[in-house]
Each structure stands twice: as C-alpha cells, then as structure tokens.
Structure 1
Amino acid sequence: MTILNAVDKKYSVLILLRHGQSLWNLENRFTGWQDIDITKKGEEEALHAGKLLKNEKIDIAFTSTLKRAQHTLEIILKECGIENIPVIIDKRLNERSYGDLEGLNKSDTALKYGSDQVMIWRRSYDVAPPGGESLKNTAQRVLPYFHKTIAPKLMEGKTVLIVAHGNSLRALMMFLENLSPEEIANTEIPTGIPRKYVMNRNLQVLDITMEN
C-alpha cells in the first residue's frame, strides 16, 4: 500500500492499542471483565507506546471502563505531552467476558477440559466459554459503538486512539481488515504495540502499519 501523509486531512488516522501487560497476563489467567491493573512491564510497554506515538496529533481517545486500559492510556498521553483532549470511557470497549473461566489459570484449565476445547473457547468466532461471550458477541457490542460514536470522528479527519483489549480490538480488526473467522482466530495482538490505520473519508483503509 502507498504510504500516505497522516497530516493531510483528506485522510483520517485510527490507532488501536492493546493495554500493557496486566498482572493476570503475567500469571497466565483468564481476565475478561475482571478489573486487573497493569504490571511494571505493562507500564514500560505503555511508556514505549507513548514514545512511538509522539509524532501523532491525537485528537480524541477512547478506552474501556477497565483500569488496565485506562492506566495504559494515561501513561501514553503523558509521555506524548497531550493534555485536554477528549477521553471517552465506555464499557462497550471492554474485554470479552470469559464467564466461569475468569481467574483460572489457562494451563490448568487446558488440563481439566482439554487443550482443544480451551482453544475453541479462546479463539473461535462464535463459541462462548461457559457463562461468557464469544468473539461474535463481543463484536455485536463493539461494532455498533464504533459506527455510531467513533466513525463520525474519523469522517471529520480526526486522529483517533483506542486503547482497549485483545478481543474487543480483534472484533474491530476483523471488520476493518475484512478478516474471516479463520483468519481472526490466528491473529495475535501484542500488548503495548500501536496498530495504525490510514483511511479516506469513506473509512476505506488505505494503509496499515505496526509501530514497534
């Protein structure tokens, strides 16, 4: 794809970023809707992301109601020297619910239920873990919010930063990149690494870059 000048306001920029490493990421536990903060490494990842984004003129930021995403965003904005931009917090950007699995160690859960079953719960598109959400369920709350609240900002030529979670971002990436359920199942989103989309005013993606 052709690299475009992000300051050309014929185009808009959307930056997606998964929060820095959380305590339960470190402990290999299912987190979901549990409100777990980031680790020291997570803070360092957020700081690094801020350094990578210093040249972006971020106009508005969106994040979830969970502290690991909000803490990451706070560090990024401080490192970028960004003050007084709108920061919108909404539960529809929260991580998918893992239901009965939340708090359980992933390796122990695989021993109990079988690694194949756990992988289906973790990565399939439309199979939910017991008491939780599938990626399809997550997309059903993320995408309407994106279209109603975030897309209009992009259509104005804004640079938008979303700091959220692995699965809420996977739902959005699936839409933006036109990925199949099979393709999204194999998509990994690392913590603290910005993914930048340059779009035209019709929200057609013209360029995708990973900053690291």
Structure 2
Amino acid sequence: MTRLVLTRHGQSVWNKENRFTGWVDVDLTEQGVEEARRGGALLKAEGFAPGFAFTSVLKRAIRTLHLALEGVDRLWIPEEKAWRLNERHYGALTGLDKAEVTEAHGADQVKIWRRSFDIPPPPLPLDDPRHPRFDPRYSSLDPDALPSGESLKLTLERVAPYFESAIAPRLEAGDEVIISAHGNSLRALMKLLFGVPDADIVSLEMPTGNPLMIELNGLKPVSARYLDQDRAQDLPPCP
C-alpha cells in the first residue's frame, strides 16, 4: 500500500471574483493561504511524509504545494512542475465574470461550456495576448501543442500521458506522492484512478485547499477521504 494526496489549490483571487481563470497565473487570497496551511497541518496529523511532489506551473498551485510541504516539514523533497497539470484552458471565456457570461449567453449555454465532458468553450484567437504562446513559461514548447480552449476531455488527454509517464512510476516504486493542481486537472486524475464515467465526472467537485488522501494498492484506490471532513465533497466509489 502507498498513499497519494491530491490537493486543489487554495482559493484564488479569481475564484473569489467568480471569473473564468484557466491558465491565467493569479495568486491565492488570504483565505487560500490559510486553506493551504490548514491542509499542511492535516497532513502532518496523518503522518504523511511524501517523497516526491508534482504541481502545475501556476503560482496558486505551487504556493499551495509549498505551504502544505512546510506543514509536514518536507520542503526539501524533489518536486516537478508540469504544464500538463495546469487548469483546463477556458478559451475566449478566460478572465470573464461568470455571471456576466451567463447573462449574455444564457444559463443553458454556459452550463454546456462549463459542465459538458467534451464540448470546449469558444477558442481564444491565436493573436490574443491571453494566449499561452505569448507566456515565457511555455516558450520551449511547440506552439501547436498549446491549447486555445479545452473541454474536460481535452484536459484529460494531456493529463493522462503525464500521469502514466511521470507520476505512476513513483507510486509503483512505493513513494508517497502529493499533487497540487486544479479543479479540472484533478478531475482528470480522478477519472483515471477511479474509472468515473464521462457523464458523472463533470459533477465531481473538489474543495479548495482540502487534501484528498487516497490509499493505493499498486495504482488501484482502496480508500479515499478528505482530511477536512467539514468541507468534504462526495467521492466516487473505489473500483
């Protein structure tokens, strides 16, 4: 048996402002910092001692990871930052107020963009300054590999190979691992691990800054629980 912890970053500035964030590199709020610190304290109480950490290249996930690792006195462990663990890219919706988008396009259309498994939002034009090809953190990547807008299905298609090539070998070697990422990239991981059907995965919610501890037999989950039960969400059954 080994343990894997998934933690969604603490509340971000744009979470609080109810904006579509995606790949925009917004920071944590004060509440988000406190959520991440509490997550670290909960991990310490569980005796969790990760040997390796993974996170996205976005500061809200990186800072959440570091605050959690500080809580368990494991800031020294190796960590890998990967763009493939970034949040889903919200395309032309990026930065927009969710309530204003709903007013402009209707609740049904916004629900499709936000909650369908395989329908992406309108794409971001390639010449839009918000496009990731203008961001220096992706300068070494083929611009054609960078998304202009993603559904959860497309997010899964970039998360899955990264999990298989980078994360799964650590778990199979017996390392305890922590992953700090985002609501949709973590949904993709949950779909992989628990075999959640397409129709069900879009309704799975992960609370901010609340570590989800998964006990694994190989790569098969045998138990899963949120450490802060007061802010827990429903979980899929272990396969």
TM-based fold match above 0.5: yes
Structure 2: give runs of 5+ residues left out of the alignment. 124-148, 229-239
For 1:163, which of 161, 167, 180 is the aligned residue? Answer: 180
- Report what 2:231 is aligned to: none
1:206 and 1:78 map into 2 onto residues whose CA distance is: 28
- Report what 1:147 is aligned to: 164
2:4 and 2:114 map into 1 onto residues whose CA distance is: 26
- Report what 1:100 is aligned to: 92
Deviation at 1:207, TM superposition (A): 1.0
- Report what 2:153 is aligned to: 136
1:86 aligns to 2:86 (yes or no): no
Structure 2 residue matching 1:197: 3-state secondary structure: strand
Deviation at 1:83, TM superposition (A): 3.1
Deviation at 1:52, TM superposition (A): 0.6
* Runs of 4 or more consecutive aligned structure 1 residues displaced over 4 Å after TM superposition: none
1:124 and 1:60 map into 2 onto residues whose CA distance is: 33
Structure 2 residue matching 1:193: 3-state secondary structure: coil
- Report what 2:131 is aligned to: none
Matches within 5 A, 1:1-212: 11-54=1-44, 55-131=47-123, 132-201=149-218, 203-212=219-228
Greater displacement, 17-26 / 177-186? 177-186
Deviation at 1:177, TM superposition (A): 1.1
Partner AA of 1:46 in structure 2: A
Deviations 1:161-196 (A, max 9, x none): 000000000011111111112211211111011111
Q: TM-score, normalised by structure 2?
A: 0.83
- Identity over aligned pairs, percent: 50
2:193 and 2:66 map into 1 onto residues whose CA distance is: 26
2:119 and 2:74 map into 1 onto residues whose CA distance is: 40
Q: TM-score, normalised by structure 1?
A: 0.93
Structure 1: give runs of 5+ residues left out of the alignment. 1-10
- Report what 1:7 is aligned to: none
Equivalent residues, number: 201
Structure 2 residue matching 1:88: 3-state secondary structure: strand
